[in-house]
Amino acid sequence: MQSLPARKNPRKRNQFIGTSVAVFLLAILIIFPGVTRSLGHAGEYILTPVLHLGQSIGRGFSAMGTNFRSKRALQTENDMLKQQLVEAGVRIADRDVLATENADLKDILGRKGEGNLVLATIISKPSRSPYDTVVVDIGANAGISAGAEVFAYGNIPIGSVREVYPTSAKIELFSTPGHKELVTLQGTNIQAELTGRGVGNFEMTLSREVAAPTGTAVLSTTLTPYVIGTVQKILSDPRDPFQKILIMSPVNIQQLKWVEIRK
């Protein structure tokens, strides 16, 4: 025996019909706004609720659009504020860098030795230039000549100019492997030959009778003695009448931004 098809819910059907009629009437009102006036009081009585419904729906959509525009405006303003904060942070960082550089330059200029020193910016360091050489941004255009002394921080000799070009110069550091420089030990008149070992390191051979405690300064033989390095370690053998002194420069070339060249 076949089962009878289920009846549709009358309540849902009536709701559907009512909604359809309301939508239809609302469409008529929107397309023909003069219909209410044409139907007179009866039409106004019948259609006024529908008109109010349409106005409410319209206000709802309008409010939604306004709310959407407000959120978009807030998002735009928020993005602008974020960008302004980033720009302000960059300006502050740049100001701090300039202030630090200004203080460093004042300190360097305040410690210059005798003679005319010209400030030069390092454009290539040992990591990018030939081993233990430095390239600077001035040369013959600034009156620089080969053999000129080169200082760091205004009073620490680090090398000499080896080659000069129109707008640049190549500096050979004292620590270049095999480079030899005549020096003296602090507190003595003993002269010795300082030999470069690379990367700011040196060695020196002295008689075992000469005391060279750790921390002893190694000085240039110029009229005004400058510190080239300090004793770091002593290597000696009781069977050998000489001792090897390991020395390190007080300057980290990789951290230098400027050098001073004597004209």
Q: pLDDT for 172-182, tens place per residue? A: 999 999 999 99
Among candidates 112, 208, 211, 205, which has minimal Cα distance to 152? 112
Q: List, for residues 131-167, the tens digit of each pLDDT value.
A: 778 999 999 999 999 999 999 988 899 999 999 999 9
Q: List, for residues 40-99, the tens digit of each pLDDT value.
A: 444 555 555 655 655 565 565 555 556 656 778 788 888 777 777 766 665 665 455 455
What sign for the dihedral angle of Cα 192, 193, 197, 198? positive
CB 132 within 8 A of CB 146: no
Q: pTM (2 decimals)?
A: 0.57
| Choice among 55-59, 213-217, 224-228 with the minimum mean pLDDT | 55-59
Long-range CB pairs of 228-231, under 8 A, 24+ apart, other chains included = 228/156, 228/157, 228/174, 228/181, 228/183, 228/194, 228/202, 229/194, 229/200, 229/202
Strand 149-152 to strand 258-262: parallel, antiparallel, or no bridges (unpaired)? Answer: antiparallel
Over residues 12-17, mean pLDDT: 58
Give the model's confidence band at 1: pLDDT under 50 very low, under 70 low, under 90 confident, else very high.
Answer: very low
- Judged by phi (left if over 0) then psi (alpha if -120 to 50, else beta), residue 153 lies in left
Mean residue pLDDT across the chain: 77
